[in-house]
Structure 1
Amino acid sequence: MTTAVTDALPRDRALRRAFSVYPTGVVALAAVVDDRAVGMAVNSFTSISLEPALVAVSAARTSKTWPVLRAVPELGMSVLAAHHEPLSRSLSAREGDRFGGHAWHRTDGGAVLVADAALWLTCRLHSTFDGGDHEIALYEIQDVTLFDDVEPLVFHQSRYRAISPAAGV
């Protein structure tokens, strides 16, 4: 069955629905600020360059957390694991304890890395760009820790999903 996005939907809802067709991982951006962990979840994360080692994220201009994280000298990026759905929801909340007692590690530079994640990146801000209602930020990777045996959390069509092997594999 095929479903078409119709002209009856407002443009912003139609675009949100259209963009949801592309599955993404979920990344926790986090750092220690004023002796407490501050974080947010994003699914707008992509590799940009190997030399220099750069990744990009984008954050809504309406976010109250993003300006705080953009200002830190060192930012942790954790690719969340399949079992991190509750943490992803907490990190996306506007209020409350976003880490909800979930374990994390602090680097010497103040980056926060989520325990049991699929990937840890410790990064420093490289540059920012206008992205309409979002700000696009390029980060230079300082350190990488990969956990090959951890399945990532996937967000697709506004739902959390699991990755499974293709049939016949």
Structure 2
Amino acid sequence: MITTSRPGGPGLDERSLRDAFGTCPSGVVAVCGLADGVPVGMAVSTFVPVSLDPPLAAICVQRTSRTWAVLRTLPALGVSVLAGGHEDAARALAARDGDRFAGLAIDTTPEGAVHVLGGPTRFVCSLEAETGAGDHLIATLRIHTARAEPAIDPLVFHRSGFARVSRPREGNSR
């Protein structure tokens, strides 16, 4: 049961709201760049294509993120859509401590964007704008390049866990 909030009424129950948000599956991306020659990155489960002209996407990050405080200052960000099978990469990039890139296959562009290899899509972006949204920031990213591998299925975050997209078998479309 989800409670609703009315002006002057009781607030939402945080657990119920978290459970409700959890029913909305979302893709998982790695947002990474080079800071002083060292890869810095994080996993983000809110990535939204925004505009074709100009080419924009958005991510949502916690205001308290120390990693975003570094990434937002970089001239180039690599945004990698993670693939089914990248669960360990997503967990490593979401960790608060330790080497987030240990064991990850990555590539760095000349501009300093860092990508996790093996996913369905890679973007090179720069920060266009930030907007406050409660305890998060909505960061609008300008897309400079995009590379897609449509045959690779993405990783999905759903109900506080990871899932894989399942495509219908050929000849079984609905």
Please tell me whether the aligned partners of residues 60 and 135 of structure 1 are also in contact (alpha carbons under 8 angstroms): yes
**Partner residue in 1 for 2:155:** 153
Q: Please tell me the root mean square deviation across aligned C-alpha atoms, in Å.
A: 1.6
Q: Distance in 2 between matches of 1:118 and 1:79?
A: 6
State the shift of 1:6 in Å: 6.5
Identity percentage of aligned residues: 43
**Partner residue in 1 for 2:35:** 33
Q: Distance in 2 between matches of 1:6 and 1:58?
A: 24
State the shift of 1:5 in Å: 4.0
Q: CA-to-partner distance for each residue in 1:59-93, whole Å, 9 max, x for gaps?
A: 00111101100110110000001010000000000
**Partner residue in 1 for 2:56:** 54
Please tell me whether the aligned partners of residues 22 and 160 of structure 2 are also in contact (alpha carbons under 8 angstroms): yes
**Partner residue in 1 for 2:98:** 96
**Partner residue in 2 for 1:139:** 141
Please tell me whether the aligned partners of residues 87 and 100 of structure 1 are also in contact (alpha carbons under 8 angstroms): no
Q: Distance in 2 between matches of 1:165 and 1:52?
A: 31
Instruction: Please give the TM-score of this superposition, normalised by the length of structure 1.
Output: 0.92
**Partner residue in 2 for 1:13:** 15
Q: CA-to-partner distance for each residue in 1:97-150, whole Å, 9 max, x for gaps?
A: 111221111111100011111100000111111111111110110000101111
AA in 1 matched with 2:61: A
> How many residues are matched?
164
Q: Distance in 1 between matches of 2:13 and 2:112?
A: 40
- 2:82 aligned to which of 57, 61, 80: 80
Q: Distance in 1 between matches of 2:150 and 2:94?
A: 26
**Partner residue in 1 for 2:121:** 119
Q: Distance in 2 between matches of 1:13 and 1:36?
A: 37
**Partner residue in 1 for 2:71:** 69
Structure 2 residue matching 1:65: 3-state secondary structure: helix
Gaps of 5+ in 2: 5-11
State the shift of 1:166 in Å: 4.8
Instruction: Please give the TM-score of this superposition, normalised by the length of structure 2.
Output: 0.89
Please tell me whether the aligned partners of residues 118 and 152 of structure 1 are also in contact (alpha carbons under 8 angstroms): yes
Please tell me whether the aligned partners of residues 155 and 163 of structure 2 are also in contact (alpha carbons under 8 angstroms): yes
Structure 2 residue matching 1:76: 3-state secondary structure: strand
